[in-house]
Structure 1
Amino acid sequence: MNMGPNFLFEDEKSFDSLTKLYTRDVVVDYVNFLVAEGIPFTLAIVDIDNFKYVNDTYGHITGDKVLIEVAERIKKVIEGKGFVGRFGGDEFLIVFPKITDYKEVWENAHKLMKFMNSNEIQNIIGLYVTITMGISRFPEDDSTYEGLLETADKALYRGKNKGRNCFIIYLPEKHANIELKTEKDRSQSSMYLHFNVFRMLTKIEKLDTGIKMLFNFLSSYFMADHICIQKGCKIYFEKIHKLSRTKDFLPINLSLVDNAMCAPADFFYVNQLESLISSNQSELAGEYSAQRIKAAFACKIAKAEDGEFIILRVDSTIKRIWQHGEMDIYITTAKVLEMLYNSGRLVLE
């Protein structure tokens, strides 16, 4: 790929020592070269989902293997079309010169996402890695590297809020007003979410109204397809997101959910139905599959006097990675509902 006369491809300082991709400086220089020459291109930020969890759970040696394999997969998919470098940490930058048509950008991003999801990390059984991408285009979205990086970052931020494992192509009418948050902002956001759980469930005279308001709020905030309380074989306080691909969610066999929960935890989550099958939960996987549910979260609320099991259900009709902060909010909700149920305020009939 012709990058211009000032790029030294054979200089070892141009390559990241771990992934063997180009360094951040080389990619930034290339982007600035394209901008200066007025050559249209697409810029994509790639972020490995939950990479900190991989390091904390499997160790940094495995984390390095993940970085190397993700780099190899990106190179394989974009070969002949794009240019990739390691941006830093678990992030990569991809540049597609002379590609800005929305459909073509979408197809290239979709191809990369599909390939990334197709296989386990080599020699590590059960470890699947997903990515989230934020994408911007020159000159449509901005005329400088800094501006393009910011618009791609906004698209990436939107993708993370949607549950990750997706790509977002920046569109000014949808994403221009997104405010990128600092760590302090994220901490305050978590406090805001917890505050709303307690406010809606404890400060409203009519509890039914509070639960409905809370489920509407959580569905909108986390883009959840379906949130409900299920007791036995009945569903209560159901909220189905207007963009959900499924309009009817049926009760699931709660004894199967109970079996899937690992003691002493009162919750479980699934990102891929294949993991249920591999853990001998194929019957539960079948129930989800029949309803086109691809990811699910369930948290035990209580057991009724008649012995029927009560849970908080959150279902998704798209593949996603549940975020720890998101699950924390659902667990808090379930535990507050448990207190309300045990006190007699929450009645399910």
Structure 2
Amino acid sequence: MGYRVAVVGATGNVGREMLNILEELDFPVEKMHAVASRKSKGVEVSWGDKTIKCEDIELFDFSTVDLVLMSAGSDASRLWSEKIGKAGPIVIDNSSAFRMDPDVPLIVPEVNPDAIKLATKKNIIANPNCSTIQLMVALKPLHDAATVRRAVVSTYQSVSGAGKAGMDELWNQTKAIYGLGDARPKLFPKQIAFNVIPFIGAFQDDGYTDEEAKMWKETHKILDEDIKLTVTCVRVPVFVGHSESVNLEFDRPISPDEARAVLRDAPGVMVIDKQEHDGYITPVDAAGEHAVYVSRIRKDPTVENGLSLWIVSDNLRKGAALNAVQIAQLLDETGIIKPASGYRSITV
């Protein structure tokens, strides 16, 4: 007993993680469909202890499912998500296509679960940007304790944020450099192996990139439109796991100890913060994990009521697939979706 679910983009990094996490969290699935573009029709992907074959999105009847997890990119979402929503199921869309649509809720379940009430306006729910998700999970409890006035964020984003092609480019360039081969960039604008690139997305007229703009726009929609936020997004030669250096200014004094206590009680957060070896988290430590990790919590004496901290999370999990599955759980818990059998799950 359970839901009829389709994962669109099932052959991609995030699509595969969605299938894995639905299984890990024991989300009640009666029938699972892997859906992809025509060129991937028949490709097998893992589902539990078996494999299923991808079905052609052009031929798939979406009226036969209850829930669609969409991870096929913005262009595919713009083409398909509204059509799918009109066919009946609710779409949880991992792209940026509908994040700023006022009729589409943008949800991080630990932060703004009440936004789920808007889900049936278009039958679409937007999954935020990977870097925004981990920032929101850490900022929400601190903002509740002592209002955040301003945030300065620098991201250190792994190549998996650019998909399998990004991971391949880092791997191939690394091998080429050691073997005196061709390390010229193909996907990224500059060499990514043994380098960092202070540019993700596309430049805007103000000099920021659209990846940077996503973070403040999404923060304003999810958490508080009054938070002043400036961002620099950087691509780094890490396979999985995004990191963020965050400087915060609050409307009242908040000590590092108080911040640690607040964060330790917050859902989805793990505090690893000691001034010793292994007293902080790195992307390698966070890979494959569900939590948003916070380390290096310290007072910033250069501003009034300032703190600095370090945030790390697996961008394929909490930054994408896990957050989408948690939204699905929220839909189930609130009764917005119901399987034909009437069975309801309990969130893990």
TM-score, normalised by the number of residues in structure 2: 0.26
Greater RCO (Cα-Cα under 8 Å, separation 6 or more): 2
- Compare the two structures and name the one with the higher strand fraction: 2
TM-score, normalised by the number of residues in structure 1: 0.26
Greater Cα radius of gyration, structure 1 or 2: 1
